Amino acid sequence: PTPHPGMPGAEAVAGATVATAEGPSLTWTAPASWRPKGGSTMRKGSYAVGPADGPAGDLAVTAFPGDVGGDLANVNRWRGQMQLPPIDGQELAGALEALEVNGLKILVADIDGGANAERLLGAIVPFNGATWFFKLVGPAAVVAAEADAFRAMLQTIRVAEAPAAHP
């Protein structure tokens, strides 16, 4: 698979326009077994993850201007998607794993949906005044089986090369 450069733009969602990040982009290399899906103007990348003949997880790559409410708000948004109660600021450090990859600071959350039998792996990547999100969500067994591949993909994230200037 080829790296996916960011696409500038905005998408109307429920009557509101959601700004997406523009400018320098990040690239990554998805595992060969992940199947690219049609994206949208909000998604920088989109993949079906897991067995082709069974329930699959969804990997979405998005980027938004600013900090999108901060790390606590983002983790609690994901917890809400897993039908879990929010955590407070004191619990945040224990909910995130910090990585540094190719000069980028990445925070990774692993959220078990418990009773709903789903799991979410999410990475928060601040870059160039925007926040990029790499989020894998799906059946707990599928996400567990793909967790190492998700982490390996995070290790490939880097700043995209700027196109060469034409004389």
**Per-residue pLDDT at 18 exceeds 50:** no
pLDDT at 107: 98
**Per-residue pLDDT at 90 exceeds 50:** yes
Q: What is the mean pLDDT of residues 57-61?
A: 96
Look at the block and give the residue holding tokens 């591949």. 149
pLDDT, one tens digit per residue, over 60-71 is 999 999 999 999
Per-residue burial over 73-111, b if 16 or more Cβ lie within 10 Å, else e, is ebbbebbebbebeeeeeeebeebbeebeeeebebbbbbb
With H, G, I as helix, E, B as strand and everything else as coil, classify residue 114: helix
Whole-number percent of the chain with pLDDT over 90 = 72
Q: Is residue 89 within 8 Å of 95, Cβ to Cβ?
A: no
The overall average pLDDT reported for the chain is: 86
pLDDT at 20: 57
**Per-residue pLDDT at 3 exceeds 70:** no
Enter the pTM of the model: 0.83
Burial of 33 (0-12, 13-18, 19+ CB in 10 A): middle
Q: 145 pLDDT band (50/70/90 cuts)?
A: very high
Of all residues in the chain, what percent are helix, strand and coil, respectively (each to 5)? 20, 40, 40
pLDDT at 7: 34
Those residues whose C-beta lies under 8 Å from the C-beta of residue 153, and which sit 6 or more positions away, are 28, 29, 30, 31, 134
Cα–Cα distance measured from residue 18 to residue 127, given in angstroms and rounded to the nearest whole number: 18
Amino acid at 98: A
**What tokens does 91 get?**
């619990």
**Per-residue pLDDT at 51 exceeds 60:** yes
| 9-13, 51-55, 63-67: least confident range | 9-13
| 19-33, 35-49, 97-111: least confident range | 19-33
Amino acid at 162: A
